Amino acid sequence: MKKNAKPIPFIVLLISIVFSNTVLAQKAKSPVAPDYERLEQILKDAHQKFAADKSGSPADYIPELAKVDPELFGICVVTVDGKVFSVGDVNHTFSIQSISKVYTLAMIMDQMGQQAILDKLGAEPTGLPFNSVTAIEQQPTRVGNPLVNAGAIATTSLLDGESEKEKWEEILAFYSACAGNELTILNDVYESEAATNGRNQAIARLLQAYGVMYNDPEEAVDLYTKQCSVGANTEQLAAMGATLAADGTNPFTGENVISPDNVPHILSIMLSCGMYDYSGTWSYITGLPAKSGVGGGIVAIVPGKGAIAAFSPRVDAAGNSVRAQKAIAYISKQLQINIFDPQSVGVE
C-alpha cells in the first residue's frame, strides 16, 4: 500500500467482491443457452430432421461449387461469451460467397460512416434475384443495397488502399479478425468464379455508366470475386456472426472489430435484404437478421446473444441453402429467439 493511502472501506470492498462474482457467474452461463443439454439436443434434432432433405441443388453456375458433396451438413451456435455448440460437418471449409458482402459493408461503414451507405449504396430490397440487371435500371440508387451483387461490387469499389493487393490483404485480415481465426482464399473456387463472372463484369460496367462505380470496375469485380471465394467452416462462420451479435467484438479474441454504433445498421440491412428475395418471408418466420451464400452457408444473428450458422450445399431458386434455412428456422423456434418477440431470448 502506498504511504498515506486510505484503507478501502469494508462496504465498498464487499460490494466490489459481490459485483465481481456476479459478473463471473454471468459469463459462466451462456445467454443463448440457459440449458446446455437442451441446446445440444435441439441441434441434434435439427440435423436429424433435415439431413434427408434432398430439395434444391448445388449452385452450378460456378463450376467448382457443383463439385461439392451435396450431403455435407453442419450446424453451429456460438454465443457472445464464446460457448460453441455444433453438430455434423462443421469442420468442412466452404466458400462463404455472398456472406462476404456483410463484412465488406462493415469495413466501408467503419471507413466512411453510416450516411455514406445511404448516399452511395442504398438500403432497399430489390425484390428481384441477387444478380439482377433489371434491378439496376429500376432502383433509384441503381445499386439497391449492399447485399445484392450490384451493391456489393459498388461497396467493394469504395475500399481504401493504394493497390488491389493492399485492399485484398485488408479484406482478408478483417474477415479473419471477425472469425477469430486466420481465413484463406479457396483458389480453385476463385479461379472457377473468375472464369465465369461475365455477368458481374457487365453489372460493374453498367454501374459505371450510371456513375455509381467508385473505382476501376475490373478491379472491383476481381476483389469481389476473391472475397466470395474466402473459405470458412461452419464454426468459423458462426464466430463471424457472433462478432456482430456481440456489438462488433469477437467472442474468442476480445478484439473489437466492428464499431458498435454500426452494428444495428448492418443487422437492419441483413434483416431486409440478407436472404435475397426471400428476405421478407424469412423475417416473418424467424425474426432474425441473416445472410446466405450460394456456397451453402447461412448465418443468423441473435443480437446480444450469439449466432446460428448452418451449411449444406443444396440451394433453392433464391440461392439459399435448403437444409441450412430449415435448420436455423427450427432452432430459432425451439429456442424462442425472435427479435420481434418480447418474450424471446432467455426464457426457459
Structural domain containing residue 280: 36-335
Residue 302 counted as an annotated binding residue: no
**Residue 301 scores a pLDDT above 80:** yes
Residue 23 counted as an annotated binding residue: no
pTM > 0.85: yes or no: yes
175 is catalytic: no
120 is catalytic: no
- Which candidate in 101, 167, 226, 291 is catalytic? 101
Residue 18 counted as an annotated binding residue: no
61 is catalytic: no
Question: What's the pLDDT at 62?
Answer: 94
Residue 181 counted as an annotated binding residue: no
CA distance to 73, 106, 165, 173, 290, per residue, from 250 (Å): 25, 14, 26, 14, 18
Q: Which whole number is the average pLDDT over 131-157?
A: 84
CATH number at residue 302: 3.40.710.10
Confirm whether 292 is domain-assigned.
yes
Confirm whether 243 is domain-assigned.
yes
- Share above pLDDT 90 across residues of the chain, in percent, rounded to a whole number: 77
Question: What's the pLDDT at 7?
Answer: 46
Confirm whether 279 is domain-assigned.
yes
Select the more confidently predicted residue: 93 or 11.
93
> What would the pLDDT profile of 148-190 be if each residue is shown by its tens digit?
999 999 999 999 999 999 999 999 999 999 999 999 999 999 9
Cα gap 172→152, rounded to integer Å: 16
**Residue 137 scores a pLDDT above 80:** no
224 is catalytic: yes
pLDDT band at residue 196 using 50, 70 and 90 as cut-offs: very high
Q: What is the CA radius of gyration of the chain?
A: 21
Confirm whether 3 is domain-assigned.
no
Confirm whether 340 is domain-assigned.
no
Confirm whether 98 is domain-assigned.
yes
- Which candidate in 175, 190, 224, 330 is catalytic? 224
Question: What's the pLDDT at 220?
Answer: 97
Q: Which whole number is the average pLDDT over 248-259?
A: 97
Residue 191 counted as an annotated binding residue: no
Confirm whether 347 is domain-assigned.
no
Residue 256 counted as an annotated binding residue: no
98 is catalytic: yes
What is the domain count for the chain?
A: 1
Q: Which whole number is the average pLDDT over 98-122?
A: 94
Cell numbers 466512411: residue: 112
> What would the pLDDT profile of 284-297 be if each residue is shown by its tens digit?
999 999 999 999 99
pLDDT band at residue 122 using 50, 70 and 90 as cut-offs: confident
